[in-house]
Amino acid sequence: MKKQDNEQLCALAQKGDTEARDLLLKNNMGFIRKTANEIYMKSNLAESDLSTETSDLEQEGCLGLLTAIPLFDSSKGIKFLTYAAPFIRNTMTDLIRDVFSQYEQRMTSTTDGLALQKIRLDEILPGEERLMRIEAIADPTVKSPEQIYVDKETMRELYEGLGRLSEREQAYLLYRYGFTDDVEHTMIGSAIHFNLRESRAKTLEDTAMDNLWLELPWWF
């Protein structure tokens, strides 16, 4: 029997052929697994406390492909997998977004489409505790007292600069660079955390970093 391609199998599945549907899913598991692994790594899930595995993403990807079957129109001249790929990715990222949302322990509010985590700098490292922590990280056997002092002053200025940013810029940078949980998050992980498209997260990050530089005294 001649092997049927994705488009032929999809046409049969749209007519209710469950065997064709299952074979279509089986034939594209390689792509689903690859996509799951890529999103898993980009989202930094391996280093997080979230109980989401690549197998969970693969399961969601399968659902995404199945969702695409009845909506696919072969007359448009597009390959089935090309059409189904966004469905597969979106179901995976939706799962991660839901997991992040459930894991979030702080109250959030929405301003201009951006879920803002209500964090004050003083809540992260209140008062002199900030400098104590910086000093604890510094290795006195490697750095001189003068260098430790300079580093402390630099971090103090950095925190002060962050405090002068807008609330959403501050919230984004605090999360993105690990001020809140000591874990530097990837851009895509940050985008998912704040319910943003990756392109918008990049724009927000670029703007926030530009504004932060302008608030730092050594910039002038």
What's this model's pTM, rounded to 2 decimal places? 0.50
Q: Which CATH number fits domain 108-219: 3.40.47.10, 1.10.10.10, 3.40.50.300, 1.10.1370.40?
A: 1.10.10.10
Residue 211 scores a pLDDT above 90: no
Fold of the domain built from segment(s) 6-103: Four Helix Bundle (Hemerythrin (Met), subunit A) (1.20.120)
Region for 41 from its dihedrals, namely left if φ exceeds 0, alpha if ψ lies in -120 to 50, beta otherwise: alpha
Answer yes or no: are the C-beta atoms of 80 and 88 closer than 8 Å: no
Counting other chains too, the contacts that 115-120 makes at CB distance below 8 Å and 24 or more residues apart are 115/194, 115/195, 116/167, 116/168, 116/171, 116/194, 117/171, 117/174, 117/175, 117/180, 118/171, 119/170, 119/171, 119/174, 119/180
Q: Where are the domains of the chain?
A: 6-103, 108-219
User: Has residue 42 got a pLDDT over 50?
Assistant: yes
Alpha-carbon span 187 to 147, nearest angstrom: 31
Fold match flag (6-103 vs 108-219): no
pLDDT in tens, 116-170: 444 444 444 444 444 444 444 344 444 444 454 445 556 667 777 778 888 888 8
Mean pLDDT, the chain, rounded, equals 74
Give the tens place of pLDDT for each residue, 165-198: 888 888 888 888 777 666 777 777 788 778 777 7
Give the tokens for residue 175: 């999360």
Point out which residues pair with 107 in neighbouring strands.
Answer: none
